[in-house]
Amino acid sequence: MRILLIEDDPATADYLAKGLAEEGHVVDRALTGKDGLFLALNEPFDIIVTDRMLPGPDGIAITRALRASGIATPVLMLTALAEVDRRVEGLEAGADDYLAKPFAFAELRARIRALARRPAPAAAEATELAVGDLRADLLRRAVTRGTRPIELLPTEFRLLEYMMRHPGEVLTRTMLLEKVWDFSFDPTTNIIDVHVSRLRRKLEAGGEPSMIRTVRGAGYVLAPALGAGHG
């Protein structure tokens, strides 16, 4: 993927560019908002990662300018701790995701992948999701694995729906907290692990192979079970 990275701190920019290049992405860098906006308007990118505070136009202004020009490239906004509460403002300006500094690189990687594989708008209106032999009917809120129906609580259904919309992607705890529970902070209690392990138990209650994989130090992946009969 071709990624535009707009970041005024050279050390952070080096670190991020190196990490993304190792992932196999092509990274274009801009050190000021002006250069970043120029590149973003004139060249095609798959993803734009921009700092919020920049010399020249800031991340919010860049995003607004892009959206005003009809460019729908996904924007991931990075922000210093002090502005975490300003998340809504960034999202309202047209950013697709918002990540507070400092963050683990795995968190950035996971979010970039999620943005890159963002389902097309039409898919968002789909009434049924399927991953391997797992099916979820969004209208009836019914879930089946193969032919076995699975009873889920409303929270568990929301969690599963989010995971099924991003199959094969690493979903971090922070992402799940934000997207499923709307928590913009990390509670001391690890509520995600408990919810995921409950969901996992229900998905495997019929003795089927595991579909939710834990990625150490990063998060969880929902993917078709390896060696499943329907593969």
Partner 1 sequence: MHWPRSFAPRLALAMAAVVLVASVCGAGWGWLRAQSALRQQLDLVLAAEAEGLIRDYENYGLAGLAEATRLYTRRQGPIFLSLAAPDGRIIAGGVPVAPVTLRGFATLPRADDGSEIRALGALLPGGVNLLVATELAPVNRAAAALAWTPPIAGGAAALLALALGFWLARRLERRLAAVSQAARGVMAGDLTQRLPQSGRGDEFDRLAATVNTMLARIETLVAELRQVTDDIAHDLRSPLSRLRQRLEAAVGAARDPDADTAVLEAAIDDLDGILATFAALLRIARAEAGAGRDAFSDLDLSALVEGVAEAYAPVVEDAGRSLATEIAPGVRITGSAALLRQALANLLDNALAHGAGGISITLAPDGSLSVADEGSGIPEAERDNVQKRFYRLDRSRGTPGTGLGLALVAAIARLHGGELALGQGPGGHGLAVRLRLVPAPQRDQPRGP
Chain residues binding partner 1 by CB under 8 A are 81-82, 84-89, 100, 102, 153-155, 181-191, 194-195, 198
Cβ 103 to partner 1 shortest distance, Å = 10
CB of 98: closest distance to partner 1 in angstroms? 12
Q: Least distance from C-beta 194 to partner 1, angstroms?
A: 5
* Residue 33: CB atoms within 10 Å: 23
DSSP, collapsed to helix, strand or coil, labels residue 2 as strand
Nearer Cβ to partner 1 (35/161): 161
Q: How far apart are CA 107 and CA 170, in angstroms?
A: 9
User: What pairing do the DSSP bridges indicate for beta strands 142-145 and 134-137?
Assistant: antiparallel
Task: Identify the CA nearest to 130 among candidates 153, 161, 107, 173.
Answer: 161
Taking the C-alpha atoms of residue 17 and residue 15, their distance in angstroms, rounded to an integer, is 6
Picking from 52, 34, 44, 53, the residue whose alpha carbon sits closest to that of residue 4 is: 44
Q: Is 27 left (phi over 0), alpha (psi -120 to 50) or beta?
A: beta
* Residue number with CB closer to partner 1 (25 or 111): 111
Q: Which is nearer to partner 1, 34 or 86 (CB)?
A: 86
The two three-digit tokens of residue 164, written as one number: 């099924």
CB of 33 to partner 1, least distance (A): 23
Q: How far is the CB of 218 from partner 1 (least distance, A)?
A: 13
Measured from the CB atom, is 26 or 84 closer to partner 1? Answer: 84
CB of 15 to partner 1, least distance (A): 14
Judged by beta carbon, residue 115 or residue 199, the one nearer partner 1 is 199
The minimum distance between CB 82 and partner 1, in angstroms, equals 5
Taking CA atoms, 61 is separated from 34, 51, 56, 66, in Å, by: 10, 11, 9, 9
Q: Report residue 66: phi and psi, to 5°.
A: -65, -50
Q: Tell me whether residue 34 or residue 158 sits nearer to partner 1 (CB atom).
A: 158
Distance CA 49, CA 29 (A): 10
Q: Which is nearer to partner 1, 166 or 195 (CB)?
A: 195
